Structure 1
Amino acid sequence: MSNPASPVSASADAYLDPDLAQLHRLAAAHGVGTTFTGWNGTPQQVAPETLVKVLAALGVPASSPELVDGSLAEAELDPWRRMLPPAVVVTAGKEALVPVHVPDGAAVKLRIVTEDGQEHAARQRDVEVEPRDVDGVRTGRTTFALPRDLPLGWHTLHADIEGAAAQTALIVVPDRLATTGMLEQRRGWGLAAQLYSVRSSRSWGIGDFGDLADLAAMSAERGADYVLVNPLHAAEPAPPLQPSPYSPSTRRFFNPLYLRIEAIDELAYLEPKQRGQVEKLAAKAQQLNRSAELLDRDQVYALKLEALELLHQAERSPAREQAYRAFVRDSGAGLEDFALWCALREQTPADDPSWRDPAAAPDTAAAQAKRRQLAQRIGFHMWLQWLCDEQLEAAQRAAKLAGMRLGVVHDLAVGADLSSADAWMLRGVLAPGVSVGAPPDMYNQLGQDWSQPPWHPKRLAEAGYVPFRNMLRTVLRHAGGVRVDHILGLFRLWWVPEGNLPVDGAYVTYDHEAMIGILALEAQRAGAVVIGEDLGTFEPWVRDYLAERGILGTSILWFENDGGAPLPPEKYRTQCLASVNTHDLPPTAGYLSGEHVALREGLGLLQQSAAEELASHRKSVSAVLEVARERGLLPDGEATEQQQIEALHVLLAQTPSVLLGVALVDGTGDRRVQNQPGTTAEQYPNWQVPLGDSAGQPVLLEDLEGDPRFNGLLAAVENALRQSEAARRR
């Protein structure tokens, strides 16, 4: 990854056509990259047509040389037109300077009001800046130094001059996330699971929040400190549901598909007839638990919605009613907007053009009329989110009571779908006409388009980063940690304009100091750790920066190499979560046997022959297993599959990494890949595979209690980590 602060060099512009040089300068002024490094390591130029489209998405006209010149002049004047910056994010304990633009010679006062109502003064600094004419007004710049001892939090800056005033958000963030400290003192390990696939005899055909609590308690008994689950973000409000948890309708709220119906208090107070209906629905759904077929989200959610609508009719007790109202109040307007979207989406298809009509936005008169018309249904969807919040709180409480230091670790997707609730609710801070993706790499040589609208960097700052904060607060509300998928997206994102192929995109940079700082602030306030998925194309400074801020990285055994050989465990990063595999790879049993090579061959995804691919794969696997054998973790002769899997996990315990991850599928011997990148639903059933054993037969939570394979793997990891920690302290 290139440094977000690095513009296109002037020396490079000297060799460009003058008009193109101006376009490149305009792109650099708005954080748009004009080059990128190809998957083969060679620099690639971004096409001028792509730059024009990306700049248009940022609201910057650039379709002619005259417009480019005008936009360059506007970019230079824009800060001078503002009395205060759009938002100010500063690091606690460090000096921060704030420019204030006022008519030349005007006396200005800058004061800080902290979130608890306390007022502080800022000191003016003697920094000479030449005044300039701005829209006919001679304008000067006065520089203020903020106090170093400001508390962490969301504050407000106020600038006052005679006859005018301005204010902006001031966010004070930690220099380093403090929660990482407990892991530096004592390392830990945990399970990684796709919650929807983890069923019990009490499930309704899909793993739920009750199963999450039980899985956490069960693994805590065996020494685990956390359970990392797939994103639990909300999907569509009614079937059909998008199977991918990484393509949600919103990242701020949760998916009621995961509700445990029997854990809802009002079930006990239903009329006998209604309760009987719920029991019939439960019996029908629970028949699915032992099915080896693909998971059927649509059938399960249809059954749960029928039960939930019956439960919603039950009168809540006064205490329950007060708790519900407090949740609605604390959640703010965002909850009602999401519930309105759900009610509208039940009536209006995702591809209806009205979703993009500005006259139908959440704050319009048309939307207000719909709020009145759909009030009852809006209330139902808000109630569902309250139930999700209750059951997530119970799962985290169960995990902590069982002895976990972290408990539930959530997963934060990169974005939401183009036809999502977020795209409708947050249109003011999202960039129009583009979607997020990835440039070409060795596995996807045409690039990727994820069909997700990106944050608009400037508009997000102008909103004081509140939408970003609100999303983080909900995810972290009942969590011991959060894994941030593609955390590099907080530094830069690959924007693909509408109508372009994924290869025809450009990188757009974000204020990573602000984005990472706010992430650290909200995690620290929640007492949670942050794990960044920092795999892929990047520059070393990014990982170093994240480590300095207390953000953990991600290391996958198969991807860690040193000059073509497996990276010795001692050389792994300390500040990271290390695991053998990831959800985009087969479980370890399947990976060892190379079953994914045959799968990719059948799907036409190989870049070379199957024989060449399999030979290369076996060579890399053998090299890793040889490292384990040299360290006495495998017998000299033939080793069983289970011995190999345990040895690989014990090998990771010899790394300095503060967290280790164990995929639940490795404890059951499952061989099937959960997600095959680069495929559609027609090609492969991504995110629909239930937890199974080596033969693909269903494994329920109850089966794990006495499963020697599951217990043997977890015991091996726990013992290896304890021995490693004891040796470290000696």
Structure 2
Amino acid sequence: MDPTERATLSPALVDLAEAHGISPDHWGFHGEKKSAPASTLVAILGALGVDATSPENIDVALATVVDDEWRRMLPPTVVTRRGVAFRVPVHVTDGVDVEVWAELEDGTHVALSQVDDYVEPRTVDGRTIGRATFELPADLPLGWHELRARTRDGQSRAVLAVTPDRLELPEHLADGQHWGLMAQFYSVRSRQSWGIGDFADLADIAWIGGQQLGADFLLVNPVAAAEPTTPMTPSPYLPVSRRFVNPIYLRVEDIRETAYLSAADRSLVEWAADDVRELSTDPGPIDRDAVWDAKKSALRVVFEAPRSAARQKAFVDFCLSQGSGLESFATWCAFTDHLGSGEWPEEYRTPGSEAVARLREELSDEVDFYSWLQWVADVQLEQAQRAARESGMGIGIMHDLAVGVHPEGADAWALASVMARGMEVGAPPDMYNQQGQNWSQPPWHPRELARAGYAPYRDLIRTVFRHAGALRIDHVIGLFRLWWIPAGAPADEGAYVRYDHEALIGILCLEAHRAGGVVIGEDLGVVEPWVRGYLNDRGVLSTSVLWFEKDEDGRPLAPEAYRPLSLTTVTTHDLPPTAGYLAGEHVELRERLGLLTEPVHQVRQEARKEREQMVLALASRGLVGDEPSERELVEALHRYIRQTPAALLGVSLADAVGERRAQNQPGTDQEYPNWKVPLGDSSGSVVLVDDLAHNARLRSLAAVMNEGTGRSQGEGPEGSDRSAG
């Protein structure tokens, strides 16, 4: 790229970019202002359907965008807040009368009143258009409604979403502080697992957490769908679909039909399990491919087994409730099995094509199989959430929503009309990733998403909340703006594209309210202060990680200064567990992998200083004595965050059992076994679900979290015959 290109942006190109929500410049992590290359702006505009390849085309596009909203009688979607009167612009032929009303979910019609707000008519495409302004009443009920307008010339419809002004915490969580466990649950196996943590293990971990340890929630990694064939992408943060579930987490034996298999079919299931069950006690990297090959063969056997009339009806009802979204996802899975995971023939790349319809019919049994997998997974997720709540947890399972999806996955295929082609999501350079980051995920197309009434986004949030008490939104700033990188360009040659955060956050709050759930936004890193204030006002909890919270002098932030409406933790899955972090193992690992951009001795010195400052902060509050042990330090750090006003506190299960190895090392791919490290103790020995209730270190840390709360721990599972599922 020509180094002068950033400084030669034409004013017209800048105006066009800004008109389409693209920020031509941003502030770098050293505080300097950076401008995007002209080529980046042209490419992003192209992905938005705007031709900016010449000065003439830019002028035409500028003239067009000014008149866009005047060409529509109603906006494509209106998202408003309950309790707030909202004005809607309605565009009609100048002088023509118009009637506007809202049709509510319950069938009620509410007429809208026109307000006196004169706007000069505009000539658009040879027609004089006037703007009439109508006001939505402030007392419309929460929900998904329809806005209608009618003139002598015709009618127009728009999606109307009335969202909560603020998402309030459930009553039982509104007073006091509540804590929970955080786990990469695929890494937590039991003796009954098939080499990877599954939904039955999830239920057992939740039950132990609530009943035996006094926890109120269990935050887990995204359980979203991965490839239906091997090799399977290890990262739970790069799913093929965010709405649907990865069936690798199924407990085959807990599917009802498994119990009634013939002797021959049961042998097939048992043989498949025998090949991988011993992997559950293997301290080596988790082998998802071996696990999925074994489970998939067993699940096909169970799928072919007859179902009772009631079970079949439940399956059909589930498919109907999930609609075309499930059909498209199952179709993509069946096609991937049939066509392979490489590039498909052109005729199958468009979901609505006749060729796709024909092949879907040919593969109808396979489509049914993949739909069935989602149904049995939904049943087991429901059982896990029920086990969590029955254990005494106030929230239960807290799911995690990844930023985006695999560029060649089911969502990228089925939802292509609301995604920006040729673009990849990432982040600009920062102090930890000085070349920037490219996560290879296609972004939502802001305008097409609005034209679709936000249905794909709504359905995603609604589905994930089906069996969740809370939802963590990874990189929540992505609901405000995303760093778009043209495919093939370096990560630092991107630009921010703005989204209608009022709509996206509002819909998130609406679906959370309907589910009775809590929302946590992961707002770490470079986030404008107003965003955190906005999230706080809407009732979305922020995220605080102890190691990242510093005062203006760079020292550990005093607990009293933490944000009240937050989920506060000592660590996160992108750092080594606390024992490893205290020992500086994050520095040694990055040095070994060649990830350091500064001299290793300098980085080691900074890490030692950070540790010393933290120990001093703990000592100043009487939380540690002289020469504290590793375990004493870990517990003291958790006592430190207990002194914050944070509404929720998270305890890493890895911290609780003494694990030292990181689950993920940012900036690496094959250099480190990311997302494959099984849960172990301080010596690397495997820790199973079966052992958690008796784990002395875990119970001791749980006691720390329960100090002064009045909550007590159970005595252990003796005498209980409970089993998940």
Measure the CA separation in 2 of the matches of 1:173 and 1:364: 36
Aligned partner (choices 695, 699, 702) of residue 687 of structure 2: 699
Alignment of 1:705-724 (within 5 A): 705-719=693-707
SS of equivalent to 1:561: coil
Measure the CA separation in 2 of the matches of 1:22 and 1:536: 32
Q: Would you say the 8 A contact 2:347–2:356 is kept in 1?
A: no
Cα drift, residue 265 of structure 1:
0.1
Q: Identify the residue that residue 642 of structure 1 maps to in structure 2.
A: 631
Deviations 1:636-674 (A, max 9, x none): x21110000000001100000000000000111110010
Q: Identify the residue that residue 166 of structure 1 maps to in structure 2.
A: 156
Cα drift, residue 180 of structure 1:
5.4
Aligned partner (choices 190, 198, 201) of residue 188 of structure 2: 198
Q: Identify the residue that residue 351 of structure 1 maps to in structure 2.
A: 342
Cα drift, residue 485 of structure 1:
0.3
Q: Identify the residue that residue 223 of structure 1 maps to in structure 2.
A: 214
Aligned partner (choices 278, 283, 287) of residue 287 of structure 1: 278
Over 3 Å counting, the alpha-carbon distance change for 1:190 and 1:105 in structure 2 is: same
Q: Identify the residue that residue 70 of structure 1 maps to in structure 2.
A: 60
Measure the CA separation in 1 of the matches of 2:342 and 2:500: 33
Q: Identify the residue that residue 10 of structure 1 maps to in structure 2.
A: none
Q: Identify the residue that residue 93 of structure 1 maps to in structure 2.
A: 83
SS of equivalent to 2:193: coil
SS of equivalent to 2:224: coil
Gaps of 5+ in 1: 1-14, 724-730
Q: Identify the residue that residue 544 of structure 2 maps to in structure 1.
A: 555
Over 3 Å counting, the alpha-carbon distance change for 1:722 and 1:46 in structure 2 is: farther
Q: Would you say the 8 A contact 2:44–2:484 is kept in 1?
A: yes
Q: Identify the residue that residue 520 of structure 2 maps to in structure 1.
A: 531
Aligned partner (choices 657, 676, 699) of residue 688 of structure 1: 676
SS of equivalent to 2:51: coil
Q: Identify the residue that residue 630 of structure 1 maps to in structure 2.
A: 620
Could you tell which deviates more after superposition, 480-489 or 33-42? 33-42
Q: Would you say the 8 A contact 2:347–2:355 is kept in 1?
A: no
Aligned partner (choices 469, 477, 488) of residue 488 of structure 1: 477
Measure the CA separation in 1 of the matches of 2:419 and 2:710: 47
Cα drift, residue 568 of structure 1:
0.2
Over 3 Å counting, the alpha-carbon distance change for 1:359 and 1:703 in structure 2 is: closer
SS of equivalent to 2:299: helix
Measure the CA separation in 1 of the matches of 2:173 and 2:558: 22
Measure the CA separation in 1 of the matches of 2:703 and 2:253: 33
Aligned partner (choices 670, 678, 688) of residue 667 of structure 2: 678
1:177 aligns with 2:167: yes
Alignment of 1:446-485 (within 5 A): 446-485=435-474
Measure the CA separation in 2 of the matches of 1:443 and 1:589: 21
Q: Would you say the 8 A contact 2:223–2:246 is kept in 1?
A: yes
Measure the CA separation in 2 of the matches of 1:443 and 1:381: 40
1:114 aligns with 2:104: yes
1:504 aligns with 2:493: yes
Q: Would you say the 8 A contact 2:349–2:413 is kept in 1?
A: no
One-letter code aligned to 2:71: R
Measure the CA separation in 2 of the matches of 1:544 and 1:57: 32
Aligned partner (choices 349, 366, 376) of residue 377 of structure 1: 366
Could you tell which deviates more after superposition, 342-351 or 528-537? 342-351
Q: Would you say the 8 A contact 1:86–1:169 is kept in 2?
A: yes
Over 3 Å counting, the alpha-carbon distance change for 1:133 and 1:255 in structure 2 is: same
Q: Would you say the 8 A contact 1:327–1:386 is kept in 2?
A: yes
Q: Would you say the 8 A contact 1:577–1:659 is kept in 2?
A: yes
Aligned partner (choices 596, 614, 617) of residue 607 of structure 2: 617
Deviations 1:611-636 (A, max 9, x none): 2111111111111121111111111x
1:154 aligns with 2:144: yes
Q: Identify the residue that residue 529 of structure 2 maps to in structure 1.
A: 540
Aligned partner (choices 271, 291, 298) of residue 307 of structure 1: 298
Aligned partner (choices 20, 24, 31) of residue 21 of structure 2: 31
Deviations 1:382-432 (A, max 9, x none): 000001100000000000011101000000000001111110000000001
Cα drift, residue 147 of structure 1:
1.1
SS of equivalent to 1:494: strand
Q: Would you say the 8 A contact 1:52–1:63 is kept in 2?
A: yes
Give the TM-score normalised by structure 2: 0.96
Aligned partner (choices 257, 260, 266) of residue 257 of structure 2: 266
Measure the CA separation in 1 of the matches of 2:524 and 2:419: 25
Measure the CA separation in 2 of the matches of 1:32 and 1:351: 32
Q: Identify the residue that residue 7 of structure 1 maps to in structure 2.
A: none
Cα drift, residue 720 of structure 1:
5.2
Cα drift, residue 351 of structure 1:
3.2
Q: Would you say the 8 A contact 1:650–1:720 is kept in 2?
A: no
Alignment of 1:40-51 (within 5 A): 40-51=30-41
Q: Would you say the 8 A contact 1:653–1:720 is kept in 2?
A: no
Deviations 1:92-118 (A, max 9, x none): 010100001000110000010011111
Aligned partner (choices 576, 581, 590) of residue 566 of structure 2: 576
Q: Identify the residue that residue 5 of structure 1 maps to in structure 2.
A: none
Q: Identify the residue that residue 257 of structure 1 maps to in structure 2.
A: 248
Measure the CA separation in 2 of the matches of 1:466 and 1:179: 25
Q: Identify the residue that residue 417 of structure 1 maps to in structure 2.
A: 406
Deviations 1:502-539 (A, max 9, x none): 11000000000000000000011011100100001111
Q: Identify the residue that residue 269 of structure 2 maps to in structure 1.
A: 278
SS of equivalent to 2:79: strand
Q: Would you say the 8 A contact 1:360–1:366 is kept in 2?
A: no
Cα drift, residue 178 of structure 1:
2.1
Cα drift, residue 360 of structure 1:
3.4
CA RMSD of aligned residues (A): 1.3
Give the TM-score normalised by structure 1: 0.95
Could you tell which deviates more after superposition, 552-561 or 599-608? 599-608
Measure the CA separation in 2 of the matches of 1:427 and 1:343: 18
Cα drift, residue 441 of structure 1:
0.7
Cα drift, residue 181 of structure 1:
5.3
Q: Would you say the 8 A contact 1:57–1:432 is kept in 2?
A: yes
Over 3 Å counting, the alpha-carbon distance change for 1:107 and 1:328 in structure 2 is: same
One-letter code aligned to 2:116: D
Measure the CA separation in 1 of the matches of 2:198 and 2:217: 17
Deviations 1:224-278 (A, max 9, x none): 0000000000000121100000000000100000001111000111111111221
1:368 aligns with 2:362: no
Q: Would you say the 8 A contact 2:170–2:516 is kept in 1?
A: no
Divergent runs of 4+, >6 A: none
1:393 aligns with 2:374: no
SS of equivalent to 1:441: coil
Q: Identify the residue that residue 333 of structure 1 maps to in structure 2.
A: 324
Q: Would you say the 8 A contact 1:92–1:148 is kept in 2?
A: yes
SS of equivalent to 1:179: coil
Cα drift, residue 16 of structure 1:
8.4
SS of equivalent to 1:451: strand
Measure the CA separation in 2 of the matches of 1:89 and 1:638: 57
Cα drift, residue 284 of structure 1:
2.6
Over 3 Å counting, the alpha-carbon distance change for 1:270 and 1:212 in structure 2 is: same
Measure the CA separation in 1 of the matches of 2:472 and 2:77: 26
Q: Would you say the 8 A contact 1:110–1:160 is kept in 2?
A: yes
One-letter code aligned to 1:484: I
1:207 aligns with 2:197: yes
